[in-house]
Structures are given as C-alpha cells and as structure tokens.
Structure 1
C-alpha cells in the first residue's frame, strides 16, 4: 500500500513542536524502502524538522509495530487498524529484519562466548580464591591455636603477676607503715634533740654570762689588787727615799752602814722592779688567758654539744687563774713585807738581798 494512501486514515497526534507521529512513521517507511536503517537523525532529516526528544518516542513505537506489519497485520499509529505495506517496503523490511536478526544472533553468540570466557575466568578466580581461602583458613586456624596458647600463657602470667603485685602491695603497705612509724619516731627524737639542744644552748648561754661575769669580777679584783700593790710600792718608794735621805744625813757617822744600806736599797729597788715586771708578766698572762677564755666562750656559743663540760673546764681554769693570782698577790705581799723589814732593819738588808733572787727564781719556776 502507498504510504500516502495509508496515511489518509491516520488521525494525527500533535506533538509539542508540531511534528505528527504519522510523519515520523512515513519517513521511517521511506528510509526502510531505501535500504537505510531508520534513525532519529535520518528521520529528522527526512522530515526537515523536529527535535530528537519528540522524534525518539514516535520512532520507538514504529519499531514496536514493525513486526506485526511485516506479518500482514497492519497497525496504524492512531487507531491500530490493518494497514498493508508496499511489497518493496515489505521486502526491504524483511531483508533488514533478517540482517538485524543475524546481527543480533551474532552479537548474542559473541556475548555468550564472552560471558562464557568471563564465567571461566570467574571460575578460575573463584577456585584460586577458594584455594587462598583454604590456606588462609589453615593459617588462621594455626594462628588461632597459637593465639589460644599465648592467651592461656598470658592469663597464667597475668594471674601470677596479680598475685605477685598483691604480695608486693602488702609488702609495700607494711614497709610504708614501718617507714611512717620510723619517721614519727625520728621526728619525735628530732623534736627532743632540738628541745635538748635549746636547753643546752640556754644553759650554755647562762653559764657563759656567769663565766663572763665571774671573769670580769676576777679581772676587777685583780686590777684592784694591782692598784693596791702599786700604791704600796709607791709608798714603799717614798719610804725608801725618805730612808735614803735619813741615811744620807748619817753618812759621816756610819759610812759602812750607809754603804750597806745603799746596797740593800739598790737590791730592794731591783727586787721591787723584778716584782713589778713579774706582776706585769702575770697580768699579761692573765690577759692572754682571758682572751683565750673569750675565744673558748665564743666557740662554746657556736657549739651546743658539750657546753656543760666546757663551762666546767672554764670555771676550773678561772679558779686556777684566781688561785695563781692569789698566790702571786701573796708573794708580792711577802716581798713587800720583806722589803719593809729590810728597810727597817739595816743589818738584815744583805739577807733580804739574798732572799729576793731566791723568791724570784721560785716565782719563775712556778
């Protein structure tokens, strides 16, 4: 049937751009009759207009009804009634259909062969994966067994370690308790030692103050004794001078006695000078001893330990010095008494002169 005559009974369907589906079908028939495969672009070129979006669904419906039309059941794009195609169109469509089927069969065979090869490759890969998986399962089983053994050993080690830690904690707690008790004891002993040290320091300070006071008092007494002795010596000098003047008046009458008196006076003066020098030496020794005592007292102030013993030693030394000073004072008094006796008794001047060196020798030996 002529496409133009077949299109007279078609009720056109308006598209969005003014292209009718009958026009698309007619253009596809002409392309098929020309031996060309109807495509969207060829149909658009045949019609001369139309968008791909509009032509595509109309061309798909043409392909859907092509089989029925080739079998003799014509289908109109509008009402689906029988529509006989021209013989040339039918033959071209049949050739095209056979070519499409062969191409489709060849494509299907190629696809099946490719699918089979892909399936073989997948089977080989699956077999390799299964082999790898079996090896991994074996390795995993061995690793799991080793892990279980290691876990059991670790649990035993953890249990032993926990027991050891518990024992160590108990021992640490005991040692800590003992250490705290020892710290408390040492702290108490330290407090007692500090208190004892403070008490000893206070006692030493008091003893030091008392020793310094006693030293000052002894020094003052010594100075007073020295002053009294010097005053006595001065008086004796005045008396000696007066005696010398009296002896000078009697020079003519008692020349021999006067010479002896002068010798005795010289001896007495020498004895007095020696005694004064000895007294100064004793005072210097006393000063040195006093300085040493002060140094020892300063050392005693810095050292609290042994303060009582040192204070006792210092008191004994002061007593010794005081006794020595008293002995020296007694010696001076005795010398003074001998001098007075020598001056009052001219005949005994030689005896005094002889005794004075002996006394000085004894004093030096002391």
Structure 2
C-alpha cells in the first residue's frame, strides 16, 4: 500500500523505479498508450477509464502502471518543452503537452487525496481488524482457560468416581467375606445343635428304656413278694386251723411266723416305696429331658432364623451394592461424555476463522 505522499522514488540516475510486473495480459505499454490516447481526446485518464479502454484488467495492476505513467509524465513534458532546434520524432503538440500538464497536476492532487483517503480507510480497517483479532484472541484465551478448568474438574470427578467405585467394591468384598464367615459359623452352630439334639433324643430314649426296665423289674419283685406273702399267709392259716389246739410252743412258733410275715410285709412295702421313688425320679428325669429337648429345639430354630436373616441381609446388601455400582458407572460414563464434548468444543474454538477479505479499491 502506498503512503499519502505521491512523490515517486527514483534511482540516483534520475529514472523512476519500475513497479511490480502486472498480471499477464495487461502490460505497461498498453496502459501508457491508453492513458496517452485519453489525454489526446481531452479526457482525464483514470484507472476505470483506462480499464474500460483496454476492455478489462486488474485495478491494482492498472493502478501501478498509471503510477508509472504519472512518474514519466514530467520528463516527457520537459522533453516536449525543449528548443525546437532538436525536435523528437515522438514529440506531442504543445496543446497536448499543456493539457497533459494540467491533467497531470489535477491527477496528482486527486491521487494524493485518494491515496490519503485510501491510506486512512486502510488504517481504520486494519485497526478494526486488529481490535477484532485482539478481542477474539482474548475470548479464545478465556474459553481455553475455562475449558482447561472444566477438564481438570472432570478429571478430578472421574478420579473420585473411580476411587469411590474401588472403595465400594472393596467394602462389598469385605462384607461378602464377613457374611460368608457368619453364615459358615451359623451353619456349623446349627449342625452342632442338631447333633446335640439327636444325642439328647437318643439319651432320652435310652433313659426311658432303662427306667422302664427298672420299673418292670421292681414291679415284678413286688408282685413276687406279694405272692410269696399270700402263699405264706395261706400256709399259716392252714397250720393255725390244724394246730389250733397246739401248745405254747406252737403259739410261740406262730408268733415268730407272724413276725416273719410282718418283716416280709415291711420288705414288700419298702420295695413298693422304692419302686414309687424310682418312678418319680424317672418322671422328673423325663421332664428335665423334655425341657432340655425343648430348649435345644428353640436354639436350633433361633440359629436357623439367624442364618435366614443373615442370608436375606447379605442379599439386600448385594443388591444395594449392585445399584450403587451401576449408578457410579452411569455417572462415570456421563462425565466421560461431557469431557469428550468439551474437548471437541475446545478444538472447534481453537480453529482460527478465515480473516475477512479486503475489498478491492476502485
């Protein structure tokens, strides 16, 4: 872009520096010829008029060639004003030279004004673009910082979720081991109680059979004693009938026999009392065995109920742990999805948008 000063830079030899070559198809000689033709027609040569005369061409290329035309114009005017003693073949008429001089003065002033306006407009446009880029860069920096903070938070949340899952799994493993141990102990206690119950039942049956045997033996002894007593009584009665008229010796013998009978009766009565005591003891022992059997049955029922409760509690804990693990996995999946979305959004925001194209000056 050219500055507001329209003076053309020259080499030490006095020749103007040549501009950049134009687009192929629009040459410097074409632009110079078109400008000279417009001056010869009395028309001010401008970029648009030269382009219209040439039938097209880039405004930038035509503008550069027009700068060269204006740069050469003073030398051409000076050459045209030289003495007539040395005329040139390509010298233009004086009217053309004067008109070109006026056009060149007007064009130089307008070019200066146009260049100043273009420079100011370009400067304002560049400042606006620079401010927009600064704001955009600040916004991108802010979004990048926000994205980084969100990513750090999501990483922390993901690590916390992983730690919570691991802790929950470890706790569940410990609870499963403890429940398995308690269940094993309960099953062992139930087996022991059942074994004790079986032993108590067997002991009760043995005691009942032994008591029944002892009672039968004592009952048989009492029956035998009673039969012996009855037999002896019958025998004594018959002897009394036969020896009613006997002497004192027979009476004394009878008294001794009666004493013996009384002793036998006492023995029979003692046997009956012993049998009664044995039966009472056996009844008490049987009641105690029944009470112990009922106690053992209650303990076995309590152990079964405790094992059932522990199994139900273990099942509930397992289900609760499964639900909590499923919730943690869903939260971890949602966190990972949100992190991926933020990363994709950050990549889209980091992609620079194409700068606004500059409009061509006409």
**If the length of structure 2 is used for normalisation, what is the TM-score?**
0.35
**Larger radius of gyration between Structure 1 and Structure 2:** 1
**If the length of structure 1 is used for normalisation, what is the TM-score?**
0.35
